[in-house]
Structure 1
Amino acid sequence: MTDPAETALVHARVTGEWLRGDVVQALVVATELDREVYRVRGLDEDGHPAGRVEKALDALFSESAGEYVAVRGDHPACAAVGLYQALSTEHTWLVVTSHRVAVLRLRDLAKGTAAEDALAAAKEEKSFGGVLRGLGKIVSASAAEFARSVRRPPLSERPDDAVLECPFELPRPALARVEKWKQPLVPQFRGGPRWLQVHFTDGSWARVKTDEAGQTALTGSAE
């Protein structure tokens, strides 16, 4: 799922910048599912604040209806929502230490600035024509950024462009357990992705994608 050299870079940054005396028990590549559905009271299926209708429908969902659900919880501020939303970008890892559970990511300083600037400018536009021009700039900037990213060396070869960030962190006691999970009807193959279901003590859980090494590190078994 990721460049081993990039994981080595994360290990080095974790030791030098983030660990603060903790002992790493597991550091695994992790991302959101390919198609996520939230079942969280107060949020719609896309994880956005829900209106009255969506809240009423949420109350009807049974536990058995959640076999393809990515996030389940009783409140938008539950731990599973924080974990899952922190995994919504590239270059993310789930780390469990002696005192913390967290999501770490490497942010690429050379990526996305033009598109982000265009998006911010579009949000400031008041006229319809201005909005259209802003959207055009976003599309153009995104296309240019994609072309640059194809030519850009891997982040592991540009360590000066990498910044270690921690978008999610809780004390270790907030983590209840981590279980294997398999997408129904989706075969697993050697070297392919694996999935985990991460449970928290507030009753919420999130399903995340990892690899064989990640599944083994957090559950003790790859199968």
Structure 2
Amino acid sequence: MSRYRGPRLRITRRLGELPGLTRKSSRRSYPPGQHGQNRRKRSEYAIRLEEKQKLRFNYGVSERQLIRYMRQARRATGSTGERLLQLLEMRLDNTVFRLGMAGTIPAARQLVNHGHVMVNGRVVDIASYQCREGDVITVRNKDNSRRLVEANMEYPGLANLPSHLEFDKQTMTGKVNGIVEREWVALNINELLVVEFYSRKV
């Protein structure tokens, strides 16, 4: 299944607040659809599926990509759930979003795909690029690129800069100082339920 391109408020009404997907908030607090207001009790499977869907829609990854990240997280040492979140958080599009260069992760992905972002002095147009400790992320030295990022920086998606990143607004230069810690993940999610969801599939 490909990346979601439909109405975003519909997703946030169903799954709750997703800071990476959209900054808009719905006036209605119940899920969309005919039976949104009188939902029956959810099954164990439905609860786990919902947590998994939060990850998918917030970070804008396909089901196939998420399974690949899950396999990587399994092979790594430590908590599988935490490692999965770290892999998603250290993607280039998410890092650009957390630095404040874009208002949402889809907007950050567009910046990256259109070649406005450089990593260690080279243009990187792959949104899924895994940022590593020591990577320097800058805006391409073009008027168009700088104007775009300057406009985005006026309305950043999230106010707080995570502890593993540093950003100089004057030079529009960000640096990755380490791997993100669990407490800095902005998404409200229970990653253990996602691990349980994939336990039989992966």
Relative to its length, the structure with more strand (as a share) is 1
TM-score by length of 1: 0.29
